[in-house]
Chain A
């Protein structure tokens, strides 16, 4: 008898507002005794939708029910709050009770890289410096939020809003990070080209890990400036900590003026405003860097290819699409994608035009094999329409609607907590 192959795949997209939460279910209808395999991809939010579930606990209960008490694997694409905040507290307990066998995370989350200093290999050292950089980034985000909290009146409303959102999303979600680390099951930390281990849990599934590249993989293509990025964040973090701790001044003994002299009244508010813009620029860079640690997963079974790139942005994609020795093969593989989870909630930098152009199933006609696109997002939370940075990016949404069978969590009916998409698998 031939080895089992899924006959259909159900993709459940949960309404979590600005966040991601998907469950993939692989059915083996021609094997009545074989149970359905389930994979949870991300579980977090920065703000639930008013029309959807009122808490992540309710979402977790729905996941448990949907999975019939059993989860095979969890994929955590990266550590942003809107992807992991459900992995803690009561919602975390419910997910843990589903006894997942495997947790997949990007290599940047490998705890050995962060703490194991006893293996002074070049690779480990480089990785350690990267994970230290992530910690520095969290510190910068926390400090920015603190600065925002204490001095917010100086910044414009737009800066305040964006800084608050990005700062919140980028602080270290310690409880969730530790929860994931302690989950009693096998953990794998993946990078471009690594084996996922999912094939053993989900028969008939072939998984391609297309990102993120490791420091070593990108070493050859990075310029010196990029290699200085960890130093940059280190100094940013030190500078930020100083601000946070600094109710103390830079020169404690120097005399200060309480009132603004008339000749400086034009300039000082401008300096305050520059500071706000500058903090926002730093936190935006930080947000992008963190997004670029995202796992890019391509699930292949029969004629179906499901692409889940988390929040990966152009720089992360760049390796798989351009610099990797197998980039041509990757492009060919991606050309045949049937379901695309739109990257980073539809932001302008997460669906590379090269990639979009390669999708052969893009089609303006409603055909059977038309590309399916899934967008989990909430408008008005992130970015700015005047600057053309709104999420989801309007131009992208227009293209998605025009050329694919488009599903957005914003279109889920009031009171509903999810949307199901089902695709048949043809192994011919």
Chain B
């Protein structure tokens, strides 16, 4: 096969972060990324690495990843000195992790996935500034990674797999659900963070050789004691902590001192989300992460218990690592695919649970192999997250659309890609679909997908987003019985939104309409009240700084007390 025909290439990355060492060496891994003809930067079809340091105004020469030959790995078996001291390796690291994360989304969703801004190429600055922070900015179409001197040398956030995967996921989720960056409820802000954490965590776990080496501590043995993979031991695993090195340097958020966030250890309680501590976005997001990751551990433990021992209390390391990678991979697909079954805006954790269950149910109605859906329902319920009540045979699955819709005048093939055609369909059915006719209505996306089930079956669906927007003055809100104490004048405008995600089956029939009605005034009031409390109408709050500020607020606890100010 010639280089040009290659579908994938392998590039070396830091497996988790430079803090994770085995036998004194930073753990690295070669990962598969889609092969493409790269320019210097690297500059590819979806990612452009620009190594500019704004703190020192230094523009490093763009890295040439093809220096060793087309599609070769320029950093095969890098030394610690290279890993920490070569900006070219840092460029490769961010490029490969971002592309791998993108590829993982595309394979789970069965289609190409765009970013949340008007460009095909995500810009990445691996050494953007001297600051213990990293963030995604839609307005700047990029990911910025900071660096800072730690206790034992420079800490580069661009070398942390978790941090890079986390920020890339923000950019991807923004492309899939642009409304999720808007201020809404505590759950919505938390969801962006939790989802990004979940993708980061499960991506590491799905690297079989990394799991194997961490479990064996690189001892060379092919056996692992059962005690090392008990539920409790798995919870303690370094693979389940996010951003080990940054966590070490920045101080732990909770009692465990070794990881930036170790959500999986959060004890389940149904009242957790009502506690004031869990009103802050990251902290709240941890509850969702805890629910998913505990489901992961339960399934994995069950699967490992079925393996049987090889000798004494020892298990086959290869089989254990395979199971871990399989379960993580399956769950990661489920977590990503669920996005297609979520409402276009105003998501809450309950919606996401129903989306998870429905996404899995559609592709694999029989849950008897992993019992994933049952376990997920159990762990979510333990953390106080119940599925949306529905009439479907299996609890929590979204209801199939039962209302009478007409397909008069619409064309099947156009309905799979043309927003105008889908709009014609929804307008014809505006009453059945419960749309608010006075609002502006738009089809913001139409995405045909072809998903593959574990059994090899193809599920073809078309996912469209229908968004309704109503801009009215604060004074007019009373007309709709919305009575909220705004820090705005009566003439200022507020925007109310509602809408649905429409899922069409492979015959073009509408299966699901998942969303929130714009004219549910009670819900709109509740949401607006929460937004006022969270300072969303304060003039200094801008979408531009929101994620960056969130990451800083995590340390500073500056989100509180807003009601007391003179906004």
Where the two chains meet, the residues of A that have a C-beta atom closer than 8 Å to any C-beta of B are 147, 151, 154, 222-226, 228-229, 231-232, 235-236, 238-240, 242-243, 246-247, 249-251, 254-257, 260-261, 263-264, 267-268, 270-272, 274-275, 277-278, 281-282, 285, 288-289, 314-315, 317-318, 348-349, 351-354, 384, 386-389, 393, 395-396, 399
Contacts and interface: CB of A to CB of B under 8 A. Distances in A.
B557 interface: yes
A231 B248 CA distance: 11
By Cβ-Cβ distance, the 5 closest A-B pairs, closest first, are A275-B54, A314-B561, A388-B539, A239-B148, A232-B555
A217 B57 CA distance: 44
Interface string B43-66: 100001010111111111110000
Interface string B242-276: 00000001111110000000000000000000000
B538 A274 contact: no
Contacts of A289: 556
A251 B539 CA distance: 40
Contact of A225 (B130, B555, B561, B563): B555
Given A271-B52, A285-B556, A257 B59 contact: yes
B138 to A, nearest CB: 12
Contact of B53 (A238, A249, A353): A249
B564 A353 contact: yes
B526 interface: no
A231 B545 contact: no
Contacts of B127: 250
DSSP class of B's interface residues: helix, strand, loop or mixed?
mixed
Contacts of A348: 565-567
B275 to A, nearest CB: 11
B254 A224 contact: yes
B437 interface: no
A250 B132 contact: no
A277 B130 CA distance: 14
B302 to A, nearest CB: 33
Contacts of A246: 55-56, 130
A265 to B, nearest CB: 10
Contact of A236 (B60, B132, B554): B132
B557 A229 contact: yes
A222 B60 CA distance: 42
Contacts of A236: 131-132, 148
Nearest to A277: B545
Interface stretch (B139-147, B177-185, B413-421, B446-454): B139-147
B130 A242 contact: yes
A389 B137 CA distance: 23
A231 B125 CA distance: 25
Nearest to A257: B59
B149 A239 contact: yes
A315 B561 contact: yes
Interface residues of B, number: 68
Q: Residue among A239, A272, A389 with the most chain B CB within 10 A?
A: A239
B71 interface: no
Given A278-B131, A314-B561, A231 B566 contact: no
A43 B28 CA distance: 59
Given A267-B50, A267-B140, A231 B148 contact: no
B559 to A, nearest CB: 9
B59 A264 contact: yes
Given A235-B249, A251-B87, A268-B50, A243 B566 contact: no
Contacts of B563: 353
B548 A281 contact: yes
Contacts of A249: 53, 56, 58
Nearest to B142: A267
B540 interface: yes
Contact of A256 (B55, B60, B142, B555): B60
Contacts of A232: 132, 250, 555-556
B128 A274 contact: yes
B144 A226 contact: no
Nearest to B61: A255
B374 interface: no
Contacts of B141: 267
Nearest to A276: B54
A351 B567 CA distance: 12
A352 B564 contact: yes
B56 A243 contact: yes
Contacts of B57: 151, 154, 272
B212 to A, nearest CB: 33
Contacts of B56: 243, 246-247, 249-250
Interface string B121-161: 00101011111110001001110101111100010000000
B43 A263 contact: yes
A250 B558 contact: no
Given A264-B52, A267-B142, A278-B548, A395 B61 contact: no
Contact of A288 (B149, B544, B558): B558
Contact of B540 (A250, A255, A282, A387): A387
B389 interface: no
A261 B147 contact: no
A396 B552 contact: no
A153 B558 CA distance: 30
B277 interface: yes
Given A243-B56, A285-B558, A388-B538, A349 B564 contact: yes
17 contacts: A225-B253, A225-B554, A229-B556, A232-B556, A239-B131, A247-B56, A264-B59, A267-B123, A268-B50, A271-B144, A274-B129, A274-B137, A282-B552, A349-B565, A387-B539, A389-B540, A396-B566
B351 interface: no
A50 B548 CA distance: 39
B147 A250 contact: yes
A397 B534 CA distance: 24
Contacts of A353: 563-566
A275 B57 CA distance: 10
Interface in B71-96: 85-88
Interface in B334-366: none
A239 B85 contact: no
Nearest to B128: A271
Contacts of B555: 225, 228-229, 231-232
Contacts of B142: 267, 270
Contacts of A250: 53, 56, 58, 87, 127, 147, 154
Contacts of B137: 274
Contacts of B167: none
A154 B567 CA distance: 30
B48 A263 contact: yes
A393 B539 CA distance: 13
A270 B140 CA distance: 7
B280 interface: yes
B60 A351 contact: no
Interface string B519-555: 0000000000000000000111000110011001011
Nearest to A389: B540
A388 B557 contact: no
A317 B561 CA distance: 10
A267 B128 CA distance: 11
A393 B540 CA distance: 13
Q: Residue among A250, A270, A289, A314 with the most chain B CB within 10 A?
A: A250
B132 A235 contact: yes
A178 B554 CA distance: 34
Nearest to B544: A277
B59 A260 contact: yes
Contacts of B250: 228, 231-232, 235
B65 to A, nearest CB: 15
A271 B125 contact: yes
Contact of A231 (B59, B129, B251): B251
